[in-house]
Structure 1
Amino acid sequence: MNVMANKGNSAAQVAIATVKRAPGSKPSWILVAKTAEEIRRSGKWSPDYSSPTEWLEAVAEASGYTVNTIRRFIASLNFLEGRDEKTRKLVFDPLSGGGSLTMASIELIKRMHDISPAEANRVLDEYVKDELTVREIRDRYDALINYAQPKAMMIVGNPPYSSTERLPTPDAGKLGLRRAHQDKKVLTEIIRSRIADLSEADGMKVFSDRYEFDFVSPDAVAVAQREFSISFVDGFEMKKLGEKTPPGFFKKAIAEIVFSATFFRRYWLFLEGTEADARALTSALNVLEATSVGVALVDLEHKQIRIHREPSALPQPDRHALAKSAILAQGIPA
């Protein structure tokens, strides 16, 4: 799909009209995702809308879906666009029937890809060719989870990793505290530079060491403020992996991450470690279905991150209101 402006109508206006004219009670999720993402990436939401978020709100109103649902659509679309050329043609060619792919199935296959890319690619290929039902995809997903779970528990229970170290380390000496403070400063700079991608929202304010919470201690938070209230809060945590780990420490860290994530709309884990570390954590989070947690490898020296897993849904259970209330009680700097 290529949204073009015509006869005085902007590209954004044409896109909204396309969504509204789509057949059926609601337009297909692929149409909505492609329309919303093309305008968002190109920046053609301006001047009709003040921000990408306002643009998504307009698409939501035109399509009948919620903004959060449309973000899930876009995440699934981006996953499909990352497949090989043959698969992309089957998915996006109008004559192939790819438009009949259900969102629930693609999300399942996307989760499978985090655990076993080879199996996910096989399932996607069979599904696009109409050789699998949604129920059969769920069965394949459950089988993969059952296969991966013992391995994930081995990783969590007795991994070849270091002790995970939060920022700052409470028992560090003066040199350690100084380094921890510098690491947190760099981490905050990275979050601020990438906040539009990490939170998929505009106007976010990022804070570290500004707020205290009763049950969790994120290294940083990003706050979306709307007038005199708070729309949502995202949390960020960094863990540094060394060479050795006390027994059970990694297992404890996973439990802490999953618990902490329930207090925030999205919860990002920044990991200073290896690709293997990131894959292991991603696998464990998939087994636990911690869909609100994102994982990224961080390079503090070069101020870069590499995203391994993106949040795809709201936390369950959802304790987000407690974080918003805590921030409101402590005040938001102008």
Structure 2
Amino acid sequence: MSLADLEADRATWRRIAEFALPGAAIGVAFLTPVAYWSRLPEPLASHWGVSGAPDASAPRLVDLLVIGFVTVTIALGPILAARAPMPRSMARLLVGTAWAGSATFATLRVLTVRANLDVPSWQQASEVTGLTMLAVLGIATVAAVFGVLLAGDRPDHQRSTYSVDAATVKPGEAVVWVSGTSSRLGALVASVLVLVAGLGAWLLPGQGRIIFVAAILMAALAMTVMGQCRVTVGPRGMTVRLGWLGWPRLSVPIAQVTDVRVEDIDPMSYGGWGVRSVPGATGVIIRAGEGIRVERTTGRALVVAVDDAAVGAGVLLAHVAVARKEA
């Protein structure tokens, strides 16, 4: 077997190992409460205060679904890292975050079940102290380090960008370019979440119904807000407004712009859709395809998926050139 074959085998085993802890955490999140279902109170203690005593409860089914859903979501990091070419730093961030989150929620799941085991009511659940939570933080930190190290040999793919020519803008001209984009996926997911909220309101009992419906409706609202954006480029720089109300808003003043390029955006390389914070950049990722990438003096780029990105980038480059001449 050649050295190249050995390296390939090693990389394959490391990719498999990246799924070990996230997969185990999903199993713990769902199977642990099910295994002790009859020995848990209804509802069970779901939150503990600073004193260490339980101060809130949730129906067993709601607790199972919420913790399980969050664990599955966080555990997707290795899948996202394998889904699309991306910088190695981004892949390490995704895998490290997945390992840290998986360790956290698996440990919290075990602690929650143990604290509620064989008690007649949730108020009598065992204490969860600050020292215990520090231990959870320590476990998560160690897990994050292992995840980052495992992903350290991933390929270092640079994001695909290309330059454009500056538009023609004369000094004193206030040329403004406005464009936007929207995602059908965001609207579809928001609609499905509203249906899920209605189903939960019908099937779940009292307090559990309120918690579940509120959480799902907040997620639907977030999907609606993050499902569309509007970009304005002018003499002052670039502004990105999200959602129907144009909020939240992100801006890059013209004085901070160092370079403007068009990027071929793959949402997976940013960890998904929405407003994403990744090493070296903040992304407004509404859809896949072309977008404007603005490099800033701060060293952190702003990337936004938008229609007619090349035109907008050209206008911004023109205003940057004019601003430099006037400075």
TM-score (norm 1): 0.29
Larger Rg: 2
TM-score (norm 2): 0.30
Name the one with the larger strand percent: 2
